[in-house]
């Protein structure tokens, strides 16, 4: 990567990570310029950012020397990509409403270059309707997002979705945005929003153990990539996986079923919702605060389980803001079609994609899949094929259904 990157650092505790982000970007060959908001300077100094970027750091909209040359316009145009990290709730609100009352927001309003935002804030701020509304507006405006992720916050006792993505993840996404061809925003799903869930969930038993399953996330990630290729604006809510983020997709990374539900609800409205994640049905009723220890002569601990929220059923039953097309997955080891048909009715889903995940099939973790599309009209069985091809065909079917019904969010 040999392009120019303008990094806007917002005022949050995650600003310290942005210093490492400068280093990660320069490792990839980028020339990095930095804009610090006034609030950001409470957390990091221009001296530190300048030492790492090996360039001048910009802070003031009304800098006399810069504005003789209309400095904020020059910064907005003399770059290949703008990264906002951390993108605080306040900064996202200003971006969404087109404010330009400081250098950072003036640059963002004046640019015609791609913008990548890495949100970071308290989980309640992230889930607040105002922030969700601002994010939807920015996504519609073409802003790309990475994160936020689930985890512990800086504040003691606070946890949830709100952690800024790691610098290496942001740098990798920046590389993708700089190297891939700009999207023409054409295709059968142009102007549509597709929401996809992927991967397993991890339900903690204690600080080091958890309940999970063997889902790799390959099918869900392939569906998100296929939807983006079809021109859709895509939000991918992913459990813990080892896969690369699909390019051109807004991804929210979570750990538990509860976090996945919150992320899904926050991403609505959507035209199509595809629930490919293998969500754990149960979680431990009370998570141990310390690692459970094995004591000689004592019995194994008893784990009391409680049911996780049913994300597919909950979203399919929503009114208003129910997606026009709700698609679930049924991963079965026996009586695949019978279970899938029962699930479609019980969950109020429009379609169910059913597959056999018995160990002998190699579906979990593998690259191939054999699925059956179950709808109110009947069952269509597809031949064995790659997960990428399954994803392409599913998105093709969904786009055709949406076009026939002419339903828009």
Phi/psi of residue 137, each to 5°?
A: -65, -45
Residues 114/81, Cβ–Cβ less than 8 Å: yes
pTM: 0.63
Which two structure tokens, joined as six digits, stand for 48?
């530190």
Judge residue 291's burial from the number of C-beta atoms within 10 Å of its C-beta, 0-12 exposed, 13-18 middle, 19 or more buried: exposed
Q: What is d(CA 184, CA 165) in angstroms, rounded to the nearest whole number?
A: 27
Question: Where do the structural domains in the chain lie, given as residue ranges?
Answer: 1-182, 184-288+301-409
Tell me, yes or no, if 213 is annotated catalytic: yes
Evaluate whether 1-182 and 184-288+301-409 have a shared fold: yes
Residues 374/352, Cβ–Cβ less than 8 Å: yes
- Which entry of 213, 308, 355, 369 is annotated as an active-site residue? 213
In a 3-state reduction of DSSP, which class is residue 74?
A: helix
Give the containing element (helix H, strand E) for 93. Answer: helix 89-97
Which residues neighbour 290 within 8 Å (Cβ) at sequence distance 6 or greater?
206, 207
CB-facing half-sphere around the CA of 302: CA atoms within 13 A? 1
Write down the CATH superfamily of domain 184-288+301-409. CoaB-like (3.40.50.10300)
Q: What dihedral do alpha carbons 340, 345, 348, 349 form, nearest 10°?
A: 30
CATH number of 1-182: 3.40.50.1950
- Per-residue model confidence as pLDDT tens for the chain (409 residues): 458 999 999 999 999 999 999 999 999 888 999 999 999 999 999 999 999 999 989 988 766 455 444 466 788 888 889 999 999 999 999 999 999 989 999 999 988 888 999 999 988 898 888 998 898 888 878 888 888 887 777 777 777 788 898 998 899 888 878 875 444 457 899 989 999 999 999 999 999 999 999 899 999 999 999 999 899 989 999 999 988 888 778 888 899 999 999 999 988 889 999 999 999 999 999 999 999 988 888 888 889 999 999 999 999 998 778 999 999 999 888 888 999 999 999 999 999 999 988 777 776 667 888 899 999 999 999 998 999 999 999 999 999 999 998 655 4
Residues 138/95, Cβ–Cβ less than 8 Å: yes
């Amino acid at each position: 990567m040999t392009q120019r990157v303008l990094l806007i650092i917002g005022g949050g505790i995650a600003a310290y990570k942005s210093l490492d982000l400068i280093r990660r970007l320069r490792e990839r060959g980028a020339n990095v310029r930095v804009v610090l908001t006034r609030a950001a300077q409470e957390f990091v100094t221009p001296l530190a950012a300048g030492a790492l970027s090996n360039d001048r750091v910009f802070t003031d909209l009304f800098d006399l020397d810069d504005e003789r040359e209309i400095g904020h316009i020059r910064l907005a145009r003399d770059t290949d990509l703008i990264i906002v990290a951390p993108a605080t709730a306040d900064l996202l609100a200003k971006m969404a409403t087109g404010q330009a009352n400081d250098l950072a927001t003036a640059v963002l309003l004046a640019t015609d270059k791609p913008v990548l935002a890495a949100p970071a804030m308290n989980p309640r701020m992230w889930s607040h309707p105002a922030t969700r509304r601002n994010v939807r507006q920015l996504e519609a405006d073409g802003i790309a997002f990475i994160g936020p992720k689930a985890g512990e916050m800086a504040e003691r006792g606070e946890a949830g979705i709100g952690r800024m993505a790691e610098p290496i993840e942001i740098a990798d996404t920046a590389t993708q945005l700089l190297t891939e061809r700009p999207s023409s925003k054409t295709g059968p799903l142009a102007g549509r929003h597709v929401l996809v869930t992927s991967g397993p969930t991890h339900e903690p038993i204690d600080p080091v153990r958890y309940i999970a399953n063997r889902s790799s996330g390959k099918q869900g990630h392939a569906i998100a990539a296929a939807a983006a290729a079809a021109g859709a604006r895509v939000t991918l809510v992913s459990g813990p996986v080892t896969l690369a983020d699909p390019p051109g997709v807004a991804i929210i990374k979570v750990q538990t079923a509860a976090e996945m539900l919150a992320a899904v609800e926050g991403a609505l409205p959507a035209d199509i919702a595809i629930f490919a994640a293998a969500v754990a049905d149960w979680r431990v009723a009370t998570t141990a605060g310390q690692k459970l220890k094995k004591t000689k002569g004592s019995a194994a601990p008893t784990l009391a389980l409680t049911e996780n929220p049913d994300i597919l059923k909950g979203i399919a039953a929503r009114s208003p803001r129910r997606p026009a097309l709700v698609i679930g997955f049924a991963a079965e080891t026996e009586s695949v079609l019978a279970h899938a048909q029962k699930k479609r009715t019980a969950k109020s889903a429009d379609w169910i994609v059913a597959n056999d995940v018995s160990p002998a099939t190699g579906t979990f973790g593998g690259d191939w899949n054999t699925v059956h599309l179950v709808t109110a009209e009947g069952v269509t069985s597809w031949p064995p094929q790659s997960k990428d091809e399954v994803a392409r065909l599913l998105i093709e079917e969904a786009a055709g259904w949406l076009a026939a019904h002419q339903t828009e969010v």
